[in-house]
Structure 1
Amino acid sequence: MSQNHTRRDAETALLDRMKTTPPKRYGVYLLNDDYTTMNFVVEVLTGIFMLPKERAVAVMLLVHHEGRGLCGIYTRDIADTKQQQVLQRARLEGYPLQCIVEEI
């Protein structure tokens, strides 16, 4: 009987270890400014975030009218990478475009 009890404890411990929580999700947002062109924002959205042109235009307009727009939802590492890609590309092109990452 103690052997059966030990076996059940081991199975329970194994199941507890197998249960994992899904990774946290993070939104990547572009912020509006008075200098970055709308065309450049669309290029960033299609090139970095792989959005179709129509969706990229919709997000660009959201950034323009609302002050910020959601580009995508990712795990932390991917969100940080996307943010760095945006900031680097904006700097190379001479734009002050800002990009932030927030937990969803």
Structure 2
Amino acid sequence: MSDIAIKPRIKAETKIERPRLYKVILHNDDFTPREFVVAVLMAEFNMTDGQAHKVMITADRLGSCVVGVFARDIAETKATRATDAGRSMGFPLLFTTEPEE
């Protein structure tokens, strides 16, 4: 018999984790016109007129509403661009992001 020990080969498993998701939240204010909010939601979040209207009304009634859930970079970019669209027109429109639980 040989003095060489045979060791079983162990395959390293690569574990791929999904990136953490972030919510984009629309905050209600009493100054930004509803039609403008709907237009921003349609342009930045690719919503239909009906979807954008429902999100806008929900934010109006509850104070805020989750617009969508995205990877962090995408969520932050969309929130910034939507907020900037309001600011460029002189409205206090605000979109923020937070981690999804």
1:25-40 to structure 2, matched below 5 A, reads 25-40=21-36
- Backbone CA RMSD of aligned residues: 1.3
Q: How far off its partner does 1:88 sit?
A: 1.2
Mark the runs of 5 or more structure 1 residues left unpaired by the alignment.
Answer: none
The structure where helix makes up a greater share of residues is 1
Larger radius of gyration: 2
Identity score, percent: 34
Q: Equivalent residue for 1:41?
A: 37
CA distance in 1 between counterparts of 2:7 and 2:52 reads 60
| TM-score normalized by the length of structure 2 | 0.89
Mark the runs of 5 or more structure 2 residues left unpaired by the alignment.
Answer: none
Query: Is 1:81 aligned to residue 82 of structure 2?
Result: no
| TM-score normalized by the length of structure 1 | 0.87
CA distance in 2 between counterparts of 1:93 and 1:27 reads 25
